[in-house]
Amino acid sequence: MDVVIVESPAKAKTINKYLGKNFEVYASYGHIRDLPSKDGSVDPTDDFAMIWDVDSKSAQRMNVIAKAVKGADRVILATDPDREGEAISWHVLEVLKSKKVLKDVKVDRVTFNAITKSAVSEAMARPREIDAALVDAYLARRALDYLVGFTLSPVLWRKLPGARSAGRVQSVTLRIICDRELEIEKFVRQEYWSLTAFLKTQDRQSFLARLVGADGEKLGRLDIKTEADAKALQAALDAGSYTVTKVEAKPARRNPYPPFTTSTMQQEASRKLGFTPNRTMQLAQRLYEGVEIGGETIGLITYMRTDGVDMAPEAVHGARRVINQQYGDRYVPKQPRQYTTKAKNAQEAHEAIRPTEMARLPKEVARAMEPDMAKLYELIWVRTVASQMESADLERTTVDILADANGRKLELRANGQVVKFDGFLRVYQEGRDDEEDEESSRLPAMSDGDRLIKEKVEATQHSTEPPPRYTEATIIKKMEELGIGRPSTYDATIQTLKAREYVRVDKKRLIPEDKGRLVTAFLESFFARYIGYDFTAELEEKLDRISNHEIDWRQVLRDFWQDFSEAVAGTADLRVAEVLDNLNEVLGAHIFPPREDGGDPRQCQACGNGQLSLKLGKFGAFIGCSNYPECKYTRQLGQADGVEAEGGGPKVLGLDPQSGLEVTVRDGRFGPYIQLGEPDEGEKPSARPCRKVWRRTT
């Protein structure tokens, strides 16, 4: 009898049906060991020795597995085909060794990229040993994350009260979000105008043309700056006669997109289906582990944590066969398409995310699953099919027009696009995060010298827009571009930032909380190298080199720890005043935005002559006056100046029905609180903090 060990009960249930009576399948329920959350779990003085702890539930499960292994002929470790999967297999093996149940028991490692009968059977026929290099890469990553978190977080607690934690990938991702917020705050809007002529050909076919030049000078998008300039040009265009000067039609091709990686699947599911990355991964996990169809449990997609864009030859042939059957042979290119990833530090060790069987059409399996799963499966299916379809053939037309207006020569341009052959566009078009101005309408037939009829001219005011805040999907795209994190960690990183209250989600956009901005400003001031984009990407590259047997994992840790420990030691004598000076400088524009009356934004509005600055209290940062204790003005960080503060007037909510005393809400140093009556001299007030869900209004 052989004992097979996988991560999840769902995966165990599916493959148990494939293997037959000579196999028993058990689930580890993910990782069974972890580094204890205390000092010393990784010891740099002992060549980075690591102490592992098995939690109580995992210990119970491992006892059951160990009992089964005692009477087995073979143990087959069949966890996921990536670094984390290899690590889980290694942990299970180490625990079984410690229980001394492996005598005369053969141990094999197998991996499969899809949970189908054929994929599992093929994997069982090709067992191997645990990949020591992959395990080393896992150990290095886990040690690095521990060393950064458990060394840097206490520094934050001591020097920046209220901060929760720092992390190797977490803090860099937070910096990306904070940097974008700083861009938005520094952005200065510019007014500009555009002019559009509504024109007709002599046979009354309408189209639009935009002003692009005046009197021999090209006009850029921002060149018409004032309403007066726009109105003058509008008047000239209204008086002009219009002639076509040039018609140019060029063929163009649009190639299909590659099949999904983890990142691109999360982005498209966000754009097209409105799913968060977390929701997308939950659904993808269930599609991968198996859905019951016709009395049989079948894995519907390949492994969903991947940065590869390649597909197995049989999958490519299956896609081409479906394209021919569903859309006709002219949609099948002569040669199968091959793709390479553009992502930085991509390993491409696994296939792209694709259906396990291309002939399994979305409409045929939709009834076997919940609607959201069906939607995600269909998205994966059409993306995969489109990736092997013929290109779209387009014709892009540009028409140049001259408006002769009382001696002024005004140049206009109309752009159009015609789809001659839709190709892959018949089934799929990638979504966009932000709208782009793309002229895709068909233009009427025109020739050089044609006279045109003007219907009207519109002048439209615009203003430049700041860069958009990241969504959960676009921050993952940015992380992938920079080489920060891995497919298995993207979503977990975002969830950590939200759980730490470093960022919040508003209208699907990630907004850094003041706490998050303080942490980022602190780390940029004193640990800039370790939240640098290039440094983090280089470290990821070293981890990949470890997994490729190229460098020693402990040497990577030694090199990192030598400089990092010195940087941490350098903050031991760091005074709070020095921290505050740095934070006030870095965050000054955010904390003290310009006042509408043009006055000094740092001037205390309570006493009139004090200067406001960032202060640190037991529970975090707040704004206080330099004249303290004479002036007790304070406000929460992020609260606008002028909102009632401590020392200012309370807001009456009503009377307490039992005591008859007045109930008021006041803003204190650590947030709003409720007070009952007024205390007698020498007594403390009867007060309670407001619940977090309550928001004060003025």
**Are β-strands 206-214 and 291-293 bridged in parallel, bridged antiparallel, or unpaired?**
unpaired
Q: What is residue 50's DSSP assignment?
A: E
Q: Cα–Cα distance between 361 and 378 in angstroms, integer?
A: 8
Beta strands in 201-282 (DSSP E): 206-214, 217-218, 241-254
Which helix (H) or strand (E) is 492 found in, with range?
helix 490-499
Does residue 629 have a cis peptide bond before it, meaning omega lies within 30 degrees of 0? yes
Amino acid at the residue 24: E
Q: What angle do CA 158, 163, 167 make, to 5 degrees?
A: 100
Q: How far is the C-alpha of 337 from the C-alpha of 323, rounded, in Å?
A: 13
Reply yes or no on whether 303 is catalytic: yes
Alpha helices in 71-131 (DSSP H): 83-98, 117-124
How far CA 120 is from CA of 112, 116, 415, 448, 683, in Å, comes to 6, 6, 54, 66, 74
Judged by DSSP in three states, 448 sits in: coil
DSSP string of 537-556?
A: HHHHHHHHHHHTTSS-HHHH
Instruction: Please give the Cα distance from 306 to 309 (Å, whole number).
Output: 8
Residue 237: phi and psi, rounded to 5, are: -65, -35
Interhelix angle 9-19/277-289, rounded to 10 degrees, is 20
Residue linked to tokens 């937070």: 174
Q: How far apart are CA 468 and CA 463, in angstroms?
A: 14
**DSSP secondary structure, 525-540, as one string:** HH-GGGG-HHHHHHHH
Whole-number Å distance between alpha carbons of 69 and 3: 6
- The 8-class DSSP code of residue 423 comes to G
Length of the chain in residues, anyone? 698
DSSP letters for 299-351: --B--S--------HHHHHHHHHHHHHHH-GGGS-SS-------STT----SP
Residue among 18, 138, 288, 303 flagged as catalytic: 303
Angle 240-243-248 (CA atoms, 0-180°, nearest 5)?
Answer: 140
Would you state the structure tokens that stand for residue 37, as one six-digit string?
């959350």
Q: What is the dihedral of CA 33, 34, 40, 43, to 10 degrees?
A: 80
Report, as residue numbers or ranges, the catalytic residues. Answer: 303
